[in-house]
Amino acid sequence: MKICPICNQHLNTQLHFGNLFQLTTHLCLNCLSQLEGVSGCPYCGKKDTTTLCEDCLSWKKLGIEIKNTALYYYNGFAKDLIEKIKFSGNLRLLNAFKDEIKGQFKKGDRYSIPIPIHERKWKERGFNQALAIARLLPYPILDCFKKNEDITQSKRKREERLLARDDFSLKEEGFRLDGKKIILVDDIYTTGSTIHQIARICQEIGASEITSFTVFRS
């Protein structure tokens, strides 16, 4: 008997119209109904707009255009889930999204780059959730960046966020991504600053195409 990876309820696996969607996601209907699909800004999913939002326009002007794919908005239910994953270390909860991720990404000549967390945080937590998510995508992983220091993006002013560029660096000096198609992977898209900073470096070291994937959009 299959169980919902989020709430551990048994799933009704008998096929009828009401549970068709459940069968494709392996989540119970109750959990599914609490997740809110992303629409909004075509690049970052920011709510209440159908055209490029102010932030995405600013980045476009700076020469970095990233289309982020996110599955769900980071609502209260999603927040509880991420906290469970981060603080209990139950990475199996991420399997709740495995089939949806599989549906989004076809095999191809791309590489996943997980957004790094600071080494201190990694030691505390024992894992990087972005790396765990990257493992659900069908591409080889290049874990080539490191986080330099802990600056909370939300503490920065908007201008500072747009221009920040020293939060991350390459683990190995001289590393190149010439001609490679890259997908940056993280758990939550918040301001987009992290993803754009790393994308800028990827561009500088030769990546030919850069997109990003996050499970949630805050």
- Residues within the interface to Zn ion (CB under 5 A): 4, 6-7, 28, 31, 41, 43-44, 46, 53, 56
97 or 111, CB closer to Zn ion?
97
Report in angstroms how near the CB of residue 123 gets to Zn ion at its nearest: 32
Report in angstroms how near the CB of residue 27 gets to Zn ion at its nearest: 6
**What is the per-residue DSSP string for the chain?**
--B-TTT-PBP--S--GGGHHHHHHTS-HHHHHH--B--SSTTT--TT-SS--HHHHHHHHTT---PEEEEEE--HHHHHHHHHHHHH--GGGGGGGHHHHHHH----SEEEEEPP--HHHHHHHSS-HHHHHHTTSSS-B---EEE-S---GGGS-HHHHHH---SEEESSTT---TT-EEEEEEEEESSSHHHHHHHHHHHHTT-SEEEEEEEEE-
Report in angstroms how near the CB of residue 96 gets to Zn ion at its nearest: 8
4 or 185, CB closer to Zn ion?
4
Report in angstroms how near the CB of residue 99 gets to Zn ion at its nearest: 14
25 or 129, CB closer to Zn ion?
25
174: left (phi over 0), alpha (psi -120 to 50) or beta: left
116 or 192, CB closer to Zn ion?
192
What sections of 10-145 are H helices per DSSP?
Answer: 20-25, 29-34, 54-61, 76-88, 98-104, 119-125, 129-134
38 or 56, CB closer to Zn ion?
56
Report in angstroms how near the CB of residue 155 gets to Zn ion at its nearest: 21
Report in angstroms how near the CB of residue 90 gets to Zn ion at its nearest: 14
28 or 117, CB closer to Zn ion?
28
